[in-house]
Structure 1
Amino acid sequence: MPHSTPGIPHSTPGIPHGTPGVRENPQTPAGKPWSRAIDVHHHILPDFYLDELETMGVRTILPGVDRPTWSADSSLAMMDRHGIRAAVVSVWPGVPAGLEPKPAAEFARRVNEYLAELVAAHPGRFGAFATLPIPHTDLVLEEFEYAVDTLGLDGVGLVSNYAGLYVGDRSMDPLFAAAARHRSPLFVHPTVPPSTGQPNFGLPASLYEFPFESVRVAAQLLYNQTLERFPELPVILPHGGGGVPFYAGRLSCGGLISAALTDRLPEDPVGSLQRLYVDIAMTGDPHALAALRSFAPANRILVGSDFPLMPESYTLDTGHRVVRHGGFSAEERTRLDHANAEGLFPRFTGKDG
């Protein structure tokens, strides 16, 4: 996926204004899909982070994908062009799996302190998801408390699996419990699956595997009844929930396939999955948008740009298509633009929010 291109025009070709049956938002400036949006899917790639990964032998964050460039100024400029008031940023993919406990904890601490400095330097424009030294449970909990209570970060950024440990695993319950107590959102971004020897067809895994990674996480959360056991735990799945909207009904059929799975399901399996939050990144095409709107309640949908891992022109087009063709009422559009995110991130609920 190519990096964003600065200086794109403020209008998006191919999206007609005044589409029949779709109310335009008079508060949204021309050419901008949003008015006061809070972007919850916004990557940052500080130079020190990429340099540190390279010293560990991690030469690319995602094989087969062009390496994007990033700076705080580029994020802010993009946000202004899109009508995005604030972004809750994440360093993806965070701390690499497989590090020994001490270097993993030190790396997480350095990233989180950088995030806190970035937020402090741009009041009202940035929040941040902390990164954690998974799977080292004691250090994970220690860093979580430091990141949230001392640094004031806004939640936790996770990847779908850490060398095969998927984040819906019951071993993650201590983190879930801590996050639920703080009502700290968990942003679970897909990553490359841990399989070895799997043909890749000469294509990057992000192109087709990422939606299935989100399904794998959702299946674990469902059959471990995680959201029922931790009802105050907000979990965000990006890219419209990946494949979850299409697979939600199928995932609820476990008891029909094996009677032993019946007791593992919550009473309302699809309703349980609909408690997940999703963002609108990469959901602008008619098929994805229809699935998103059919599955996700309007109070569970958030703005997400996927900047800078997707081109800005694509992100802008997605925003326009979601707003204009998603069938949102005026109230639902306000929820999507910022109100849903404000409910998750108190930082942005001040009088200027």
Structure 2
Amino acid sequence: MSSGLIDVHAHLLPDFYVQQATAAGHAHPDGMGGWPSWSLHAHLDLMDRNGIETAMLSMSSPGVHFGDDRAARLLSRRVNEYTAGLARDYPERFGAFASLPLPDVEGSLEEIAFAFDELDADGVALLTHTHGVYLGDQRLEPVFAELDRRRAVVFLHPTSPVCWKQSALGRPRPMVEYIFDTARTVTDMVMAGVLTRHPNIKVIVPHCGGAVPVLADRINEFMSQFLRSQQPPTPDAVQQLCGLYYDMAGTAFPRQVPALLKLVDPDRLLFGSDYCWTPSPLADAHIAAIDAAEPPAVGTTWRSLTTANAKRLFQSTP
């Protein structure tokens, strides 16, 4: 199998993180049965088997902030140093998205500086919300201003919504709650003007955009009505959504990618495996489905297209 895929949605789970998260009450994270197993060698094996050249490593939900700012700062620093170490030891195989101790703004600004200036991070990973602070929240404005100044890649990742005890109905939250929390925070960013105020950030939305593609016109219509007393936003909601990047992690085919392509051009799509939260057999099957799917243009494959998109994205970042 030809190599070359760049995986923008790949997770690591070092033992020290699992131990601390479990001690904080996350023995069954987001309603899952438990923590998946992860090791460097198992990850490299998955990559080699599926022709993945480089994986951009990030932490998934529940993130690094379990209620105490100081502890979150320490954990984010440890996670980021560990991830940067893998990228340093395997420079052709791994990149790193830094975790931030949000909603602690001061701590997050310190970690942005350390991650980019000392660890050479490739971007940051932000959960859709932390303790109910969604990404359109005015309190996070200094964080987005700094990320915009650095022209940073911002990888979004869903987590359980604040209402999960009522909305999840006892089922694992990654099934549908993740999808709607992604749409919730992206809509919040659009409505709050985060993307228009900070046009230099490069946002990656996971899981084919979650519910965003089928809701885009509805969001646009409500936005025009909700903001009708103000100057109409430029660009409008659909135009803003078209300017984001979207990874193909999860069940991309047969339905999600075709729906996404009704919203964005193919040059906005990126490959994602979601390993290790997606177990190896499912990750293999998802990649096989991508390989079997009809490409969007003659003379391309989904591999060549998403790899070219990823290289263009990261080469444009200082």
Q: Taking structure 1 as the reference length, what is the TM-score of the superposition? A: 0.83
Tell me the number of residue pairs that the alignment of Structure 1 and Structure 2 aligns: 316
Distance 1:287 1:65 in 2: 27
Q: Using the TM superposition, give the Cα deviation of residue 264 of structure 1 relative to its aligned residue in structure 2, in angstroms.
A: 6.3
Residues 1:339 and 2:308 aligned together: yes
1:88-136 deviation line (CA, Å, top 9, x unaligned): 001223212421x222211111111111111111121000111111112
Residue pair 2:153, 2:317 contacting (<8 A) in 1 also = no
SS in 2 for 1:253: helix
Residues 1:150 and 2:118 aligned together: yes
1:116-174 deviation line (CA, Å, top 9, x unaligned): 11111112100011111111211110111101111111111111111110122222221
Which protein shows a greater Rg? 1
Report the counterpart of residue 245 of structure 1 in structure 2. 213
Q: Which amino acid aligns with 2:67?
A: G
1:98 to 61, 67, 77: 67
Q: Using the TM superposition, give the Cα deviation of residue 336 of structure 1 relative to its aligned residue in structure 2, in angstroms.
A: 3.1
SS in 1 for 2:249: coil
Distance 1:137 1:58 in 2: 24
2:150 to 158, 182, 189: 182
Q: Using the TM superposition, give the Cα deviation of residue 59 of structure 1 relative to its aligned residue in structure 2, in angstroms.
A: 2.0
Q: Using the TM superposition, give the Cα deviation of residue 306 of structure 1 relative to its aligned residue in structure 2, in angstroms.
A: 0.5
Distance 1:38 1:65 in 2: 29
SS in 1 for 2:262: helix
Q: Which is worse superposed, 162-171 or 313-322?
A: 313-322
Report the counterpart of residue 277 of structure 1 in structure 2. 245
The structure-2 alpha-carbon separation of the partners of 1:54 and 1:302, relative to structure 1 and needing over 3 Å to count, comes to: same
Larger relative CO (CA 8 A, sep 6+): 1 or 2? Answer: 1
The structure-2 alpha-carbon separation of the partners of 1:215 and 1:265, relative to structure 1 and needing over 3 Å to count, comes to: farther
Residue pair 1:214, 1:242 contacting (<8 A) in 2 also = yes
Q: Which is worse superposed, 189-198 or 75-84?
A: 189-198
1:139 to 84, 92, 107: 107
Distance 1:171 1:157 in 2: 18
Report the counterpart of residue 293 of structure 2 in structure 1. 325
Runs of 5+ in structure 2 lacking a partner? none
Distance 1:247 1:168 in 2: 18
Q: Report percent identity of matched pairs.
A: 35
Residues 1:268 and 2:236 aligned together: yes
Q: Which is worse superposed, 188-197 or 141-150?
A: 188-197
Residue pair 1:36, 1:337 contacting (<8 A) in 2 also = no
Report the counterpart of residue 45 of structure 2 in structure 1. 77
The structure-2 alpha-carbon separation of the partners of 1:223 and 1:316, relative to structure 1 and needing over 3 Å to count, comes to: same
The structure-2 alpha-carbon separation of the partners of 1:196 and 1:216, relative to structure 1 and needing over 3 Å to count, comes to: closer
Q: What RMSD in Å do the two structures reach over aligned CA positions? A: 2.3
Residue pair 2:267, 2:306 contacting (<8 A) in 1 also = no
Distance 2:283 2:105 in 1: 36
2:25 to 40, 57, 62: 57
